């Protein structure tokens, strides 16, 4: 099995505060992998380290076999890494269609073109449109993102990441705070992601996690507590203790 994403000894400190502690992590190609842990465990920090938003104090990051530790965010994205943010990070003053077009355009390499009109590359626009159809928000294509309710904005957030056609997709709490209608769309879309894409999902919704994941990693205080199949994780007393505060005696 090829490894799509790997971190070796990944660590990050802020003075005396350790937010990522010697993390050895492997994401297989085509994986359906969940990252869980209590609040403040460092899950989003891990994603920020992997994507390059935060630079590590130590360790290495390999994307599809290439060492990307020294590379900037945009280089990693161009090598197939895509992510969504825990809080909607969208171009609020632009239309839904344009939000996705920006991503599709960058991926197609036409984002920096100066002498064609923005709508001229029909293929880019059609591809963005198709993504909107898939997310079920095609009727809102021309509306400004800031006019949309939270749930629909979340769908745009995911559409943007999909527009990058990533080989490794990091979803940071994609369904959090989303009303049930959009929630179902999100779950469907995640379920139908191509088998070639390696997906890592950060989630608190255990039902979603156990339905979706083939492997689960538990992160506590910046370090990996354990990793395994859903069944192994569910049975482990340490995980229960971390989540429910139960003390096991004997």
Partner 1 sequence: MTGRSQVDQFIRAHRLRPVELLPWGVAVLAYFGFADYLPLGSQILIMILFAMSLDLVLGYAGIVTLGHAAFFGVGAYAAGIYAVHVSGEPLSGLLVGGLAAAIVGLVSGAVILRTTGLTLLMLTLAVTSLLSAAANDAGFITGGNDGLQGVAINPILDAFSFDMFGRTAYLYCLAVLFVSWLFVRRLVHSPFGRSLVGIRENVVRMHAIGAPVRRRLLTVYTISAGLAGIAGALLTQTTQFVGLTVLSFERSGAIVIMLVLGGAGRLYGAFVGATLYMIAQDQLAEIDPIFWDFWIGLLLVLIVLFARGGILGLADRVLLLIRRRR
Q: For partner 1, which stretch binds (CB under 8 A), given 25-33, 126-134, 213-221, 227-235?
A: 126-134
Residue from 34, 135, 164, 209 touching partner 1 (CB under 8 A): that is 164
163 is a contact residue toward partner 1 (CB under 8 A): yes
Residues in contact with partner 1, total (CB under 8 A)?
A: 50
**Contact present, 103 and 160 (Cβ < 8 Å):** yes
- Strands 198-202 vs 168-172: parallel, antiparallel or unpaired: parallel
Burial class (CB in 10 A: 0-12, 13-18, 19+), 192: exposed
Considering the complex, state which of residue 24 and residue 139 has its C-beta at the smaller distance from partner 1.
Answer: 139
119 is a contact residue toward partner 1 (CB under 8 A): yes
Question: Quick one: tokens of 173?
Answer: 């709490």
86 is a contact residue toward partner 1 (CB under 8 A): no
90 is a contact residue toward partner 1 (CB under 8 A): yes
**Contact present, 27 and 168 (Cβ < 8 Å):** yes
Stretch 184-203 residues interacting with partner 1 (CB under 8 A) = none
Residue from 10, 20, 31, 97 touching partner 1 (CB under 8 A): that is 97
Q: What is the crossing angle of helices 180-191 and 122-135, to 10°?
A: 120
127 is a contact residue toward partner 1 (CB under 8 A): no
Contact pattern for partner 1 over residues 43 through 72, marking x by CB under 8 A: --------x-x------------------x
DSSP annotation of 94 reads: S
Q: For partner 1, which stretch binds (CB under 8 A), given 1-9, 86-94, 224-232, 233-241?
A: 86-94
Considering the complex, state which of residue 54 and residue 224 has its C-beta at the smaller distance from partner 1.
Answer: 54
3-state secondary structure 23-89: EEEEEECCCEEEEECCCCCCHHHHHHHHHCCCCCCEEEEEECCEECCCCCHHHHHHCCEEECCCCCC
Residue from 68, 125, 162, 199 touching partner 1 (CB under 8 A): that is 125
Of 40, 59, 27, nearest to 216 by C-alpha is 27
Supply the DSSP string of 113-180, one letter for each residue: -SSS-TT--HHHHHHHHHHHHHHT-GGGTTSBGGGS-HHHHHHHHHHHHHHT--SEEEEESTTTT--H
Q: For partner 1, which stretch binds (CB under 8 A), given 17-25, 81-89, 203-211, 235-243?
A: 81-89
173 is a contact residue toward partner 1 (CB under 8 A): no
Residue from 85, 175, 185, 200 touching partner 1 (CB under 8 A): that is 85
Which residues here bind partner 1, judged by CB under 8 A?
A: 51, 53, 72-75, 77-78, 83, 85, 89-95, 97-98, 101-103, 105-107, 110-122, 125-126, 129, 132-133, 138-139, 141-142, 160, 163-164
């Amino acid at each position: 099995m090829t490894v799509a994403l790997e971190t070796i000894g990944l660590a990050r400190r802020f003075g005396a505060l350790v937010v990522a502690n010697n993390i050895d992590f492997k994401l297989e190609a085509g994986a359906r992998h969940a990252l869980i842990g209590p609040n403040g465990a460092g899950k989003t920090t891990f994603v920020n380290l992997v994507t390059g938003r935060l630079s590590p104090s130590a360790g290495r990051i390999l994307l599809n076999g290439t060492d990307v530790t020294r590379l900037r965010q945009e280089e990693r994205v161009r090598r197939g890494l895509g992510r969504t943010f825990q809080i909607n990070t969208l171009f609020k003053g632009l239309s839904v269609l344009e939000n996705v077009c920006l991503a599709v355009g960058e991926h197609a390499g036409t984002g920096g073109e100066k002498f064609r009109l923005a709508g001229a590359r029909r293929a880019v626009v059609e591809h963005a449109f198709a993504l909107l159809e898939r997310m079920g928000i095609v009727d809102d294509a021309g509306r400004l993102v800031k006019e949309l309710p939270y749930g629909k904005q979340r769908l745009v957030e995911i559409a943007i990441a999909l527009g990058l056609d990533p080989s490794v997709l990091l979803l940071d709490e994609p369904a959090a705070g989303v009303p049930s209608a959009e929630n179902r769309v999100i779950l469907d879309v995640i379920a139908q992601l191509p088998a070639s894409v390696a997906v890592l999902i950060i989630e608190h919704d255990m039902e979603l996690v156990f339905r979706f994941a083939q492997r689960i990693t538990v992160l506590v205080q910046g370090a990996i507590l354990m990793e395994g199949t859903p069944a192994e994780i569910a049975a482990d007393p340490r995980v229960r203790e971390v989540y429910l505060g139960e003390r096991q005696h004997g």
